[in-house]
C-alpha cells in the first residue's frame, strides 16, 4: 500500500490549525490543560483539567444550524487539508469519493438537553433522538461539502481515528474510491469526562505518558483529517504528496471492557500487520508515535510491544500536548507524525517526571533531542474493548514505491 496524502489538517488544544500545532510541538509554545469550570459542570467536587479547543475555534460554532462541536472541528480540519492540497471541495466532486471518520461523542451532542426535558415532561420534539438514529458525522461532512460518495463512521473507541484512516486507505487500495477524507473528530462532554473519572484513571495533574509518577488520562478534543488519494488521482489533480500511508493493522484482543491486555497481545498483532503490509522493518522507522495515555496499564502494555517489536526505535508521546482526544486521537497523531517526518524532528514529551525503570521505555525528552532521520514512522492506538490499530506513515520525501 502506497497511498498519497495530499493534505492534512487538525484542530486541538495545541492549535487551531496544524501550523499552530507545530509551534507548540517544536517551537516551545507552552500548552497546558485548564479546569473545565463551565463546560464540564459535573457532580464531582474535584475538577479534572482538560485540553480544550482554543476559544478562536469555539467561537466559530454555528449554533443556529444545530452544528455540533465535532462537526465544527471536522470541517475546519477538512478545509485545512484541502487548502494544503491546493484543492477546493468542487475539485473532488468528479472523483469516486469516500468519507471515513472516527467519532464517539457526536452521538450525545444534542442528547443532554433532550434528556433533561424528557424527564420533566417539557420535551416538545424528539428531533435529537431522530438525529442520533439517522445521522452520522461522516454523512454530515458529505452533506456540508455537497459531496456524493460512500461514508462510514468508525466507533472503535480510542482507536477509531487510526482505524478510519486505515479503512479509508483500504477503500482506495481495493478500488472503491479515488479519494477519501479520513480521520477522526470528537468533542468533550460529560459522558467521557465523568466516565474516565469513574474508571479512576483521570489525573488531576496534566498527563505524563511513560513517566514513573503517571496517574492517568487528561482528556482533550479536536480533529485530525487526512486527504487520501490514489497515485492516479493525485496526478490527475496535480497534487504533490505531503506524505504516504504505507500500512495498516488492526486487531482486537477482547481482554476486558476497559483495560488493555497486559502483554499488549492485540497491539502486537496490529503493529506486526501494519509493518508487514508496509514492507518495512522496525529499523526503518524514524520513531513510533505511541498511544501514550499516561495510565499505568496502557503505558505498560504499549511498552511491552515496544520492547519486543520496536527495540531501539525512538518513542514520542504527544497526548501530553493535545490530551486524549478520544476517537480523534489516532487521526490527530497521524497528522503529528506526518508533520514530524516533514520537519525531521521528533516531538518531546511534555510534563515528564522521571523514567520508569519497569517500562524500559523513555520518550524523547527536551534535553535529549532526536532527529527523525528516516522516512517512515509508526502511529499506534489502543481503544476500550481491546481495540488496537497501527499505521505506518511516510513523509513526502519517501519514494512512493
Q: Give the separation between CA 120 and CA 252, rounded to whole angstroms.
A: 41
Q: Give the separation between CA 99 and CA 231, rounded to whole angstroms.
A: 18
Contact 109, 126 (CB under 8 A): no
Query: At 89, is the secondary structure helix, strand, or coil?
Result: helix
Instruction: List the catalytic residue out of 177, 207, 291, 306.
Output: 291
- What angle (nearest 5°) sits at the alpha carbon of residue 48, between those of residues 43 and 54? 115
Instruction: List the catalytic residue out of 100, 177, 187, 324.
Output: 324
Q: Is 251 left (phi over 0), alpha (psi -120 to 50) or beta?
A: beta
Listed in sequence order, the residues at least 6 apart from 270 whose beta carbon sits closer than 8 Å to its beta carbon are 249, 250, 251, 380, 388, 389, 390
Query: At 65, is the secondary structure helix, strand, or coil?
Result: helix
How far is residue 208 from each of residues 58, 101, 204, 295, 389, measured CA to CA in Å? 26, 28, 11, 9, 22
398 as an active site residue: the answer is no
144 as an active site residue: the answer is no
Q: Is 29 exposed, middle or buried (0-12, 13-18, 19+ CB in 10 A)?
A: middle
Q: Give the separation between CA 4 and CA 378, rounded to whole angstroms.
A: 16
In sequence order, what DSSP letters do the residues of 266-312 get, joined into one string? HHHHHHHHHHHHHT--GGGEEEEE------HHHHHHHHHHHHHHSTT
158 as an active site residue: the answer is yes
Instruction: List the catalytic residue out of 100, 158, 177, 387.
Output: 158
Task: Copy the grid coordinates of residue 340.
Answer: 514530524
Please identify every residue annotated as catalytic. Answer: 158, 291, 324
Amino acid at each position: 500500500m502506497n497511498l498519497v496524502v495530499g493534505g492534512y489538517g487538525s484542530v486541538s488544544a495545541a492549535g487551531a490549525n496544524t501550523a499552530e500545532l507545530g509551534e507548540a510541538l517544536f517551537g516551545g509554545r507552552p500548552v497546558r490543560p485548564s479546569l473545565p469550570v463551565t463546560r464540564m459542570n459535573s457532580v464531582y467536587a474535584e475538577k479534572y483539567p482538560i485540553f480544550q479547543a482554543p476559544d478562536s475555534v469555539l467561537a466559530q460554532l454555528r449554533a443556529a444550524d444545530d452544528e455540533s462541536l465535532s462537526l465544527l472541528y471536522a470541517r475546519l480540519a477538512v478545509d485545512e487539508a484541502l487548502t494544503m492540497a491546493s484543492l477546493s471541495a468542487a475539485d473532488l466532486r468528479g472523483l469516486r469519493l469516500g468519507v471515513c471518520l472516527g467519532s464517539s461523542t457526536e452521538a450525545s451532542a444534542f442528547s443532554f438537553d433532550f434528556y433533561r426535558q424528557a424527564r420533566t415532561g417539557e420535551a416538545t420534539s424528539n428531533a435529537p433522538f431522530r438525529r442520533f438514529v439517522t445521522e452520522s458525522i461522516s454523512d454530515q461532512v458529505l452533506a456540508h461539502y455537497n459531496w456524493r460518495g460512500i461514508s462510514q463512521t468508525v466507533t472503535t473507541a480510542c482507536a477509531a481515528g487510526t482505524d478510519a484512516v486505515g479503512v479509508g486507505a483500504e477503500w482506495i487500495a481495493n478500488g472503491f474510491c479515488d479519494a477519501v477524507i479520513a480521520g477522526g473528530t470528537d468533542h468533550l462532554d460529560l459522558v467521557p469526562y465523568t466516565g474516565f473519572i469513574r474508571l479512576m484513571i483521570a489525573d488531576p495533574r496534566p498527563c505524563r505518558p511513560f513517566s514513573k509518577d503517571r496517574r492517568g488520562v487528561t482528556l482533550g478534543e479536536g480533529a485530525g483529517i487526512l486527504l487520501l488519494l490514489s497515485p492516479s488521482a493525485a496526478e490527475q489533480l496535480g497534487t504533490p504528496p505531503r506524505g504516504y500511508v504505507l500500512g495498516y493493522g488492526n486487531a482486537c484482543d477482547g481482554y476486558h471492557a476497559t483495560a488493555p491486555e497486559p502483554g499488549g497481545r492485540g497491539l502486537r498483532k496490529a503493529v506486526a500487520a501494519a509493518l508487514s503490509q508496509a514492507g518495512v522493518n522496525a529499523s526503518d522507522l524514524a520513531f513510533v508515535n505511541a498511544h501514550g495515555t499516561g495510565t499505568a496499564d496502557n503505558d505498560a502494555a504499549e511498552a511491552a510491544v515496544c520492547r519486543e517489536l520496536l527495540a531501539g526505535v525512538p518513542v514520542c508521546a504527544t497526548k501530553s500536548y493535545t490530551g486524549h482526544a478520544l476517537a480523534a486521537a489516532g487521526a490527530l497523531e497521524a497528522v503529528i507524525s506526518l508533520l514530524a517526518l516533514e520537519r525531521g524532528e521528533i516531538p518531546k514529551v511534555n510534563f515528564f517526571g522521571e523514567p520508569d525503570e519497569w517500562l524500559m521505555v523513555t520518550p524523547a525528552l527536551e534535553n535529549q533531542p532526536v532527529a527523525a532521520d528516516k522516512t517512515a514512522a509508526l502511529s499506534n492506538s489502543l481503544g476500550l474493548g481491546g481495540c488496537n490499530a497501527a499505521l505506518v506513515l511516510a513523509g513526502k520525501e519517501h519514494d512512493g514505491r
